[in-house]
Structure 1
Amino acid sequence: MMSTNACQELPCAVAAMPDVAKQPLAGAKGTLNWVGMSQIELPVFLRSAKGDRVQTLARVQAYVNLIDPNSKGIHMSRLYVALDTILGMNDLTPEVLRGTITQFVDTHGGLSDAAYLECRFDYFERRNSLLSDNSGWKNYPVKVAATLRHGQIDTEVSVEVPYSSTCPCSAALARQLIQEGFRETFGDASVVDANTVFDWLGTTNGIRATPHSQRSIAQVRVKLAEKVRTLPITSLIDQVEEALKTPVQATVKREDEQEFARLNAANLMFCEDAARRLKNALNDDISVRDFWLRVNHMESLHAHDAVAVVVKGVEGGYRDDPREYVHPT
């Protein structure tokens, strides 16, 4: 009879861990459009406009398709490993996005030939005040995504930019009331003392009506040209704010608030006007192959919003879908 010690000295056979994914598929068979993971929390690195390396938290979606109808499923751990070793360790650039989704497919040989990767995060920019010598942080929700289909990779950047919109119709009606107030006060006199009018305009009776304005959101989604090597988040925000002229502010002193009021009066716009401004700005950007944008004026007069949507109009490009584009989770 073998002793206990002798038994312990003999090599023990280690049972192989079961891999259910490799077992024959017994249920319904068929291909699937996307399989993967969503709401993955992953720290990623970004480069600021000044070149500083900044780490932020991204919420990630990672998918591949399943083209083998007889396979039980994909290897989700391989997607996560690619996210951890490529996306999580390098600066977030179009090249890194392309490398990550390429590995998604390469590690699923025979199972997948398409991939999708999406990162959503808050992008903080320090913005100068309009007139005063101040600055403050502003947050812009950003989504970057890469799609691999039929051997072609598309890289996209989406950003939401808040701004103020003042209604042209409301401004005209307010001006009419001010004119009527002037006539009521000064009558039909052909000559009116300028100082008296100046003082009157500084009273509540002088400016008896103000146009309604509202906080608004521009949702901009662009498909980048292949030559682009960095994510143009800051430049895209700059283009939107420069086109609209009335971005919301961070640190505000009285002179900044007055300048903001002046800019609103000088840039009266319906949602249609805002959409056309952005369309013209993005049409001139050679780094943008295609764009989809939606402007949302969150009405202060009405309980509903005013919306305009426009796309660049390239063949096979973005559709003029009025919904905010959200990849299926």
Structure 2
Amino acid sequence: MLADVQAAPDRRGVPLDEVGIEGLRYPVLVADGQGAKRETVATATMSVDLGPEVKGAHLSRFIEVLHGSREQLTPATVRALAEELRQYMGSSGARVHLTFPYFLEREAPVTRSRAFVEYTCSVSASSGPTGTQLSWSVDVPVTSVCPCSKAISDRGAHNQRGHITIEVKGADPVEGLWFDGLIAAAEAAASSPVYALLKRPDERHVTMTGYDNPVFVEDMVRNVCEVLSTSVGITAYRVRAVNDESIHNHAAYAAVSWREPRGAQPS
């Protein structure tokens, strides 16, 4: 029998809030909410709390639990992963956070040329004696045209590429508000989506579409909020839009947070 040093008693009487692993890159399959799975590589942070009487956590168990769930990451399986980790480690609380690139194949608006666009997504779950909590987020590249610039210019208007970040907490995503749905909400809130592949007719279309739909960062945040505020099952969200200004040496941003009770005004 080999000595189990981690399970040895500790006499210092200091409980630890978090013990675990971080920076682990691991292949996973993420459910896209449409019945398919998308291959990606997640960067994982996993932790449990540790009682004052226990010397250390068995870190190999984190990998075991993740490997057992890697083939189908859904809202239900991520919550189950956190609960399994808590039970396996004998802890009162466990947390899992996975960040990964998420690729969607997009058609160019005119030529229908296809190419993949990358989005940064994450999902987190925490488990305790009273249950599990789930949150997920997307970071979406977009294009926006400045309404003020358009209004005051004889020709053209300045535009910029930005990002809309949406973080959501709640029960199982409903009405398509898993990763694909949040990405769609962000892209619809901007002047135009960003594409990986555009031919000349596509570039013309995107440029004119953006010009016909100018938005401030404030508009983009509010547009996303209109979608989230009507979605059942969401208990909290945060939306943040950032534009890398094309005619200024600074970025512009807007953000809003909301949490239950439903009906409260965002702050």
- The question of a shared fold, defined as TM-score above 0.5 by the shorter chain, is answered with yes
Greater per-residue helix proportion: 1
Aligned to 1:91: 72
**Contact kept? 1:95, 1:229, Cα under 8 Å:** no
Question: Please, which of 263, 285, 301 is the counterpart of residue 209 of structure 2?
Answer: 263
**Contact kept? 1:114, 1:149, Cα under 8 Å:** yes
How far does residue 168 in structure 1 lie from its aligned partner after superposition? 1.7
How far does residue 247 in structure 1 lie from its aligned partner after superposition? 0.9
**Contact kept? 1:94, 1:228, Cα under 8 Å:** no
Supply the distance in 1 between the matched residues of 2:184 and 2:32 (Cα, whole angstroms). 14
User: Structure 1 residues 288, 255: closer, same or farther in 2, change over 3 A?
Assistant: farther
Does 149-158 or 223-232 show the bigger shift?
Answer: 223-232
- What pairs with 1:14-33 in structure 2 (closer than 5 Å)? 16-26=1-11, 28-33=12-17
Question: Please, which of 253, 273, 293 is the counterpart of residue 239 of structure 2?
Answer: 293
Aligned to 1:136: 115
How far does residue 25 in structure 1 lie from its aligned partner after superposition? 2.1
TM-score, normalization: structure 2?
A: 0.90
CA radius of gyration, larger in:
1
- What pairs with 1:58-73 in structure 2 (closer than 5 Å)? 58-66=42-50, 68-73=51-56
How far does residue 285 in structure 1 lie from its aligned partner after superposition? 2.3
TM-score, normalization: structure 1?
A: 0.74
- 3-state SS in 1 of match to 2:184: helix
User: Structure 1 residues 230, 41: closer, same or farther in 2, change over 3 A?
Assistant: farther
Aligned to 2:145: 166
Does 214-223 or 73-82 show the bigger shift?
Answer: 73-82
Equivalenced residue count is 264
Question: What does the per-residue CA deviation read over 1:263-298, in whole Å, with 9 as the maximum and x for residues that have no partner?
Answer: 222221221111111111211222533211110011
Is 1:238 matched with 2:223?
no
User: Structure 1 residues 308, 231: closer, same or farther in 2, change over 3 A?
Assistant: closer
Does 285-294 or 141-150 show the bigger shift?
Answer: 285-294
Aligned to 1:283: 229
Greater per-residue strand proportion: 2
In angstroms, what is the RMSD of aligned CA positions?
2.4
Aligned to 2:132: 153
**Contact kept? 1:93, 1:231, Cα under 8 Å:** no
Opposite residue 65 of structure 1, the aligned amino acid is D
Question: Please, which of 251, 258, 264 is the counterpart of residue 305 of structure 1?
Answer: 251
Question: What does the per-residue CA deviation read over 1:198-237, in whole Å, with 9 as the maximum and x for residues that have no partner?
Answer: xxxxxxxxx4xx3211100001111132475998111221
